[in-house]
Amino acid sequence: MNANSDLLKQLRIDRQAPPSPASRSAMWIGIAAIVVIGIFGGIAWFMLRGGSAIEVRTASATAIGGNNGAGASVLDATGYVVARRMATVSAKITGRVREVMIEEGQRVDAGQVMATLDPVDADAERALATSRLDAARSQVAGIQAQLNEAEAQAARFGKLVGQKLVSRAQFDQAVAQRDSLRAQLTTAQRNAQVAADSLRIADNGVDNTIVRAPFSGVVIAKAAQPGEIVSPFSAGGGFTRTGIGTIVDMDSLEVEVDVGESFIGRVQPKMPVEAILNAYPDWKIPAEVIAIIPTADRGKATVKVRISFKQRDARIVPDMGVRVSFLETAQPEAPKRPIGVLVPAAAIVSRDDTEVAFVVKGEAVERRQVTTGRTLGDDREVTAGLQGGDTVVIDPPADLADGAHVRLIDESAAE
């Protein structure tokens, strides 16, 4: 029994006893070996990944199609919104402003009063013209009375001269008096007509002190204030206003763009257009070409094109910047063109007699078979295989394969 206990004690491990020097050395050697292997393994992995990555240039696929029933864009241009009907309204006469009845942004109707001038001088001229007309009419009435008496006397003398009761000389004198009064009456009547015409002119002078809107529109500028002198022509240096305000017919807004001479052949009257205001980049406004101005700008080598909006909106205001896309004319009987994307032509390559493109996914590329359509300049239309927003490799190397690791070239650093 005691012998067995002694044997068990010899086999028991003493955990309180310190390890021997040989054991400690073996442990540290093992740890150091593991660390060295890990470091060299990481370096080898990094070198293998970095060394095998292929440098590539990329571009994004742009979605096209579905633009208001028309074809793809054949030409893009920039221009401005302009008003075909705009006027700076002024008075017909020079005068002092008494009242201004407009403000910027106000809508006015044709004939609406915009301002009034001081009518003192015009009222005085009308009063004078009225007095002259009254005097002329009074003179006509006096001469008419005298003529009536002269005609009666000449009639009496005509009877008496036949009876030898008055002399022939008296009769002739009565007839001459009658004829003279008839001539005076005609003159007085003409003077009265002239006075009436003068009164109408004076009335126009009074009406000219009232400034009215020539057409319906919106006030975009208020140029004068009460007390200022306005004139239809520039006078008095910088102290005389030439207008009361400026109004714009918002229904006459259109777009004017300058198209390069080398591209004007792509534009035709009635051609569908898609307009995008710089202020509202997500709003596509349907429009169409009104006319191509038959003259060129020698300095800019451009031709002006007028474009009309197909819909009116209060957000469209004069002088806004706008980008327009001239679209292919839609063919009603042709099948609808599928929506696709545009990519640089250099992104489409042939592999095994099949057109493919390489799409970047993270740090690797994915090979995709594509179906191509038209060639538009330096771009190709892809109707199947790619989606808008895909990043494709430009000029993919011949050894680029599906799943290969790539590294994007820093274009800014290259420059």
CB 56, CB 409: distance < 8 Å? yes
Spatial distance between the Cα atoms of 64 and 369, rounded to a whole number of angstroms? 19
Domain 54-66+336-414: which topology? 2.40.420
CB 278, CB 42: distance < 8 Å? no
pLDDT band at 289 (very low <50, low <70, confident <90, very high): very high
pLDDT band at 83 (very low <50, low <70, confident <90, very high): very high
Query: Among 11-15, 86-90, 107-111, 223-227, which is the least confidently predicted range?
Result: 11-15
Domain 73-84+251-327: which topology? Elongation Factor Tu (Ef-tu); domain 3 (2.40.30)
pLDDT of residue 48: 45
Percent share of the chain, pLDDT over 70: 80
pLDDT band at 393 (very low <50, low <70, confident <90, very high): confident
- Is the pLDDT at 270 greater than 80? The verdict is yes
Rounded to an integer, the average pLDDT of 295-317 is: 90
pLDDT of residue 68: 45
Query: Beta partners for 342?
Result: 62, 381
CB 306, CB 255: distance < 8 Å? yes
Percent share of the chain, pLDDT over 90: 25
CB 257, CB 305: distance < 8 Å? yes
pLDDT band at 305 (very low <50, low <70, confident <90, very high): very high
Residue 9 backbone dihedrals phi, psi, to 5 degrees: -65, -35
- Could you tell me if residue 58 is left (phi over 0), alpha (psi between -120 and 50 degrees) or otherwise beta? beta
Q: How is residue 192 annotated by DSSP?
A: H
pLDDT, tens digit (0-9, with 9 covering 90-100), for 14-47: 555 455 555 555 555 656 556 556 555 554 444 4
pLDDT of residue 343: 86
pLDDT of residue 45: 46
Chain mean pLDDT for the chain: 81
DSSP line for 372-383: EEEEETTEEEEE
Of residues 124 and 14, the one with the higher pLDDT is 124
Tokens of 231: 């004139």
- Is the pLDDT at 360 greater than 60? The verdict is yes
Cβ partners under 8 Å of residue 125, min gap 6: 202, 205
CB 71, CB 328: distance < 8 Å? yes
Of residues 150 and 376, the one with the higher pLDDT is 150
pLDDT, tens digit (0-9, with 9 covering 90-100), for 222-258: 988 898 888 877 654 555 677 899 999 998 999 999 9
Rounded to an integer, the average pLDDT of 69-74 is: 63
Residue 94 backbone dihedrals phi, psi, to 5 degrees: -85, 130
Query: Among 156-165, 243-252, 316-325, which is the least confidently predicted range?
Result: 156-165
User: Is the CATH number 2.40.50.100 carried by domain 89-118+209-248?
Assistant: yes
User: What b/e sequence results for 325-345 when a residue is b if at least 16 CB atoms lie within 10 Å of its CB, and e otherwise?
Assistant: bbbeeeeeeeeebeebbbbbe
pLDDT of residue 27: 59
Highest mean pLDDT (candidates 51-65, 115-129, 377-391): 115-129
Spatial distance between the Cα atoms of 261 and 255, rounded to a whole number of angstroms? 18
pLDDT of residue 37: 60
Spatial distance between the Cα atoms of 287 and 324, rounded to a whole number of angstroms? 9
Domain ranges of the chain: 54-66+336-414, 73-84+251-327, 89-118+209-248, 120-204
Rounded to an integer, the average pLDDT of 335-356 is: 79
pLDDT band at 371 (very low <50, low <70, confident <90, very high): confident
pLDDT of residue 382: 87
Tell me how crowded residue 230 is: count the other CB atoms within 10 A of its CB. Answer: 22
Spatial distance between the Cα atoms of 121 and 100, rounded to a whole number of angstroms? 19
In the chain, the amino acid numbered 99 is E
